[in-house]
Amino acid sequence: MNWTELATIASSIITVATFVAVVFATLIYRGQLRAMNRARDLESLLAILKYVDDLELRQARYFMNEHAEELRKLYIAPFTLDKRRAIDAKIRELSSGSLELHNIDLCLSSLNNICYFIRYDFAPADLSDGLLENTLIHAWDVFKEYVSYRRTRESDKNLPSRYAEQFEWVIDHKSRPVKARGR
């Protein structure tokens, strides 16, 4: 056997070894990617549970459900600072001073953040259907007038308000099938 035949055989062996190493590295990378996606889902779920478990936010959600009909009447006129003060005063009156409009806004912001996780696939796809379906649907039923009311405020830059945009998107897409993620 001459040296060119040996070089060809050695080259073939090195090529096969390189191929095996690439396949092995790809499998390791795939496992790491799957673990990273799982960790991201769990972190998002913990953030969502933190929102859901917050006592002040829960109190605001219950308050909005209890007094929805009374508060809906306040959302008819376009947004003004005087109207906002009137709504705040009514909330303080109905809650015996334990809540204010700021608490309602924080609740909406939290639900919007949860819906952001759901919309952009940072949370498990079945979260909106399983764990939070009733919470989101009932909250939207109560909050949609307030969201519309808040969107009528004038901005400094004459841009349309995007208040609770993620929340509305999730509610609008509830009837569509949940996109399955490959893991």
For 7-41, how does the pLDDT look when each residue is reduced to its tens digit (9 = 90+)? 899 999 999 999 999 999 999 999 999 999 888 87
Mean pLDDT confidence for 53-68: 80
Query: Is 50 within the bounds of a domain?
Result: yes
Q: Which residue has the tokens 């673990």?
A: 35
Question: Residue 113 falls within a domain, yes or no?
Answer: yes
Domain of residue 146, residue span: 42-172
Residue 36: inside a domain: no
Q: Tell me if 121 is assigned to some domain.
A: yes
Tell me the per-residue pLDDT of 135-174, one tens digit each, with 9 for 90 and over: 777 778 777 877 887 787 766 666 777 888 888 888 888 6
Alpha carbon 125 to its chain's center: 11
Does the reported pTM lie above 0.85? Answer: no
Name, in order, each residue with C-beta under 8 angstroms of 80's C-beta and a sequence gap of 6 or more: none
Q: Nearest-CA neighbor of 172 among 128, 127, 131?
A: 128
* 7 domain residue, yes or no: no
- 35 part of a folded domain: no
- Tell me the one-letter amino acid at 31: G
C-alpha span between 8 and 14 (Å, rounded): 10
pLDDT at 157: 67
183 and 30 in contact (C-beta within 8 Å)?
no
Residues in Cβ contact with 51 at an 8 Å cutoff, skipping those fewer than 6 apart = 57, 110, 111, 113, 114
Give the CA diameter of the chain: 99
Per the domain annotation, does 73 fall within a domain? yes
In a domain? residue 179: no
The confidence band for 180, taking pLDDT boundaries of 50, 70 and 90, is very low
DSSP letter assigned to residue 152: T
Q: What is the pLDDT of residues 97-146, one digit of tens each?
A: 999 888 888 888 888 888 888 888 887 667 666 666 677 777 787 778 77
Number of domains into which the chain is organized: 1
Contact 110, 183 (CB under 8 A): no
